[in-house]
Structure 1
């Protein structure tokens, strides 16, 4: 008989970047808030959230474990960053990149986290060299599938092919839901209009996105044929990073990911997302019996800072109201 979906809900601390930067919230405030809305998975960014990184002491590791446990949560994902330019005069060598990732894998393991977000530009050849460490530490390395990449982009498939060839369960992908942008975000449009975009040009860009016209065509039309100003051209250029991939393909790739970054830019007061097609994504995940975390990643703060106070908590709360509704409407086969 059908069973309730096992999709879990979490929050990336990146969602609260505004309040954390302005010291309006502490890390524990963010964890406590996540717990209060039933989001029990806490995604961390050690370079942002741990001032002593990379030299994190055992006492600090214990604090993180104790703090999430106190609030009934767990650490769900570790976001690594690989700065390939360690000096101004040369990039990192392959060996230095492997050493950096190994350092992150070890801290991830110490924190008790089994999923690590890998930035999309990290070469599969580098990750192949890291697989033995990931296997020994039982950490899944998920390459972030971030716009303008998508699930079937050749670069992403190279990572999947590497995982298949090695027969490892510790290398795969980590989808960012920004790849499922079905409608152009109203919050984007409003910001560009405040910066001087003419309403008729903004509407042309929105209509082009709705029709899924190639971004470069729209940019040319706006910049050359319509004599677009700076704001209008910038708005058109956002289309390069506003793809709409087919959510149905998630089922095919579900064995390769354990965690999802649930990107969003705004939620309506009715707790709906006007841009990203979660109403299509969540049923696919449920049907595939996927049981990882949907981890909120609010990035709308930068689009409204010029006109209103940022309230990341309210935005995240609304997204989880939507998640509860959509997950509750799905079932999985027994």
Structure 2
């Protein structure tokens, strides 16, 4: 039986939160209604008094999620190295900022902290003693165009191995598994003036996994691409398809996943991200953690119709349930076949 759990990042409801159509508790209540009881929070966005929370406020936040049968699963930290007006933050100031987040993370009872990808591994290494003391796993976000085997990501893993710690690792963003170009992206660029024959060329190039720079050159120079067409081609720099089969090699380094998606079809399938392959790999290696929905499709459709983040998230969780059950059955069948062969 798979131990994969389901949750939602509050970032999924950025449209409704910004417009005042939902508040944080509405988001938590909705997540509970679809069985996604793990809540990933962005304190800088979701907590008005951040970073100054009294003990009473911390207890109020914990009680709020508990009221709905939910719990916090991850804390998204931000490190603005340009926080000082006249200079960049010093290394000591960066460590101080991260430790501040680790302490609040611990106070909220959260054991996973998402770290932005640009934070240097040596800075995180200095934070490890605090993470170990507070029992918080610092997971560097593996966000496109980076991938699991990118040299920068491997530096963090090497730092964790060097220190022999279980409190530093990675936190994959599923945008790195974009197998097909998102239809919502293409439609938006066509509304901005991209010609269908050019957008089809870009989609075909992505499908063939042609290097992005080649496609950008073809569109901008050889095809005389207009502004929308060149912009669409440039999105290929951030639309990688990493190999899901490598997930098992890195599973010991992550406990939480940001389940990025841009759109879900009416039949509850994702037209772009290879979730069938990803979930099969997770089930196959026995990964234990939370798949946390991160809907980012609002910005691609808000010019033509109202955004319904709740329906999009609901559909993703229908897909998760289906794929997890299918993968469990597939792997159980494989184990049964191996047992019958060995006897």
TM-score by length of 1: 0.98
Match of 1:57 in 2: 54
Q: CA deviation at 1:87?
A: 2.2
1:57 & 1:8 partners in 2: Cα distance?
Answer: 30
Match of 1:278 in 2: 275
**94, 98, 104: which one pairs with 1:97?**
94
2:86 & 2:116 partners in 1: Cα distance?
Answer: 22
2:324 & 2:35 partners in 1: Cα distance?
Answer: 13
Q: Matched residue pairs, number?
A: 331
CA RMSD of aligned residues (A): 0.9
1:303 aligns with 2:307: no
User: Which structure is higher in RCO with an 8 Å CA cutoff and minimum separation 6?
Assistant: 1
Match of 1:116 in 2: 113
1:169 aligns with 2:166: yes
| Cα deviations by residue, 1:140-193 (Å, 9 ceiling, x for unpaired) | 000000000000000000000000010000000000000000000000000000
Q: Secondary structure at the match of 2:213?
A: helix
Match of 1:132 in 2: 129
Q: CA deviation at 1:64?
A: 1.3
1:238 aligns with 2:235: yes
Mapping for residues 9-158 of structure 1, pairs under 5 Å: 9-158=6-155
1:256 & 1:87 partners in 2: Cα distance?
Answer: 33
1:103 & 1:153 partners in 2: Cα distance?
Answer: 29
| Cα deviations by residue, 1:46-83 (Å, 9 ceiling, x for unpaired) | 00000100111212211111111111111000000000
2:133 & 2:164 partners in 1: Cα distance?
Answer: 15
1:143 & 1:234 partners in 2: Cα distance?
Answer: 28
Match of 1:183 in 2: 180
TM-score by length of 2: 0.95
1:190 & 1:88 partners in 2: Cα distance?
Answer: 40
Runs of 4 or more consecutive aligned structure 1 residues displaced over 3 Å after TM superposition: none
Unaligned runs of 5+ in 1: none
Match of 1:259 in 2: 256
| Cα deviations by residue, 1:281-333 (Å, 9 ceiling, x for unpaired) | 00100111111000000000000010000000000000000000001112267
